[in-house]
Amino acid sequence: MSTIAENIAKVGERIRAAAHASGRDLDHIGLLAVSKTKPAAAVREAYAAGIRDFGENYLQEALEKQAELSELPLIWHFIGPIQSNKTKPIAEHFAWVHSVDRLKIAQRLSEQRPTGLPPLNICLQVNVSAEASKSGCAPAELAALAQAVSQLPNLRLRGLMAIPEPTDDVAAQRAAFARLRELRNGLPLPLDTLSMGMSHDLDAAIAEGATWVRIGTALFGARDYPSA
């Protein structure tokens, strides 16, 4: 068994244990493998171990991997900040976008989604920790944004995403995730998705209702960022 396959098995066990501890149905929790900075070979290895959903932050890197792995039935999720000039290839090459935080971006994704593809699954990113350095709409702006995005053709608004401020305090982790769940439940829209939780806090996220946990380091090891 390869290291990636072993890691996938370990993360799967963590997810099962967290689901059991919180009385959650395992079928309602998806594992999104965050493959940013990792080579196509690592994605292929994860696919061989049963993973189908992959998350990417960097568009050009993702497009190169998609081309190299085009024979595999992978589901690609864009999870990074979105610049206006990048919306067209995102609309063309991804099934999910987790990081929409303003209406202009959603409108461009809707306009540029190719005819013949199913609606693009959208999560709205919310800045639940009010960090100046983080992307995401403010909670006070969420209702208006969600209502507007839900009306756009070629998109399917699925739910919310957050990257809370990192902490080792489990109570604080759960409080941030609970906030996202409460925000979703407070919207008068049929939303089924909470994209929250990473390698260090997936257990708390599952306890608070995560439907996608975005896991990179625990599956693939430390990220390979290029040196300056």
Q: What's 186's domain CATH number?
A: 3.20.20.10
Give residue 206's domain range.
Answer: 3-220
Say if 228 falls within a structural domain: no
In this model, does residue 142 exceed pLDDT 60? yes
**Residue 228: what pLDDT?**
43
| Residue 34 DSSP class | E
**Residue 225: what pLDDT?**
63
Say if 15 falls within a structural domain: yes
Measured in Å, how far apart are the chain's first and last C-alpha atoms?
Answer: 35
pTM of the model: 0.96
In this model, does residue 226 exceed pLDDT 70? no
Q: Who wins on pLDDT, 225 or 207?
A: 207
Say if 227 falls within a structural domain: no
Say if 226 falls within a structural domain: no
- Residue pair 198/165 in contact (Cβ under 8 Å)? The answer is no
Strands 120-125 and 212-215, bridge-based pairing:
unpaired
pLDDT tens-digit profile of 112-125? 999 999 999 999 99
CB-based contacts of 156: which residues, under 8 Å, 6+ apart? 119, 120, 121, 122
Count of structural domains within the chain = 1
Sign of CA dihedral 66, 69, 71, 74: negative
Say if 50 falls within a structural domain: yes
Average pLDDT over residues 132-161: 95
**Residue 134: what pLDDT?**
78
Residue corresponding to tokens 């992307």: 135
pLDDT over 90 percentage in the chain? 93
What is the secondary structure of 202-214 as a DSSP string?
HHHHHHTT-SEEE
Rg (CA), the chain: 17
Say if 92 falls within a structural domain: yes
Q: List 99's β-bridge partners, or say none.
A: none
Say if 192 falls within a structural domain: yes
Q: Token pair of 197, please?
A: 């939780």
Say if 225 falls within a structural domain: no
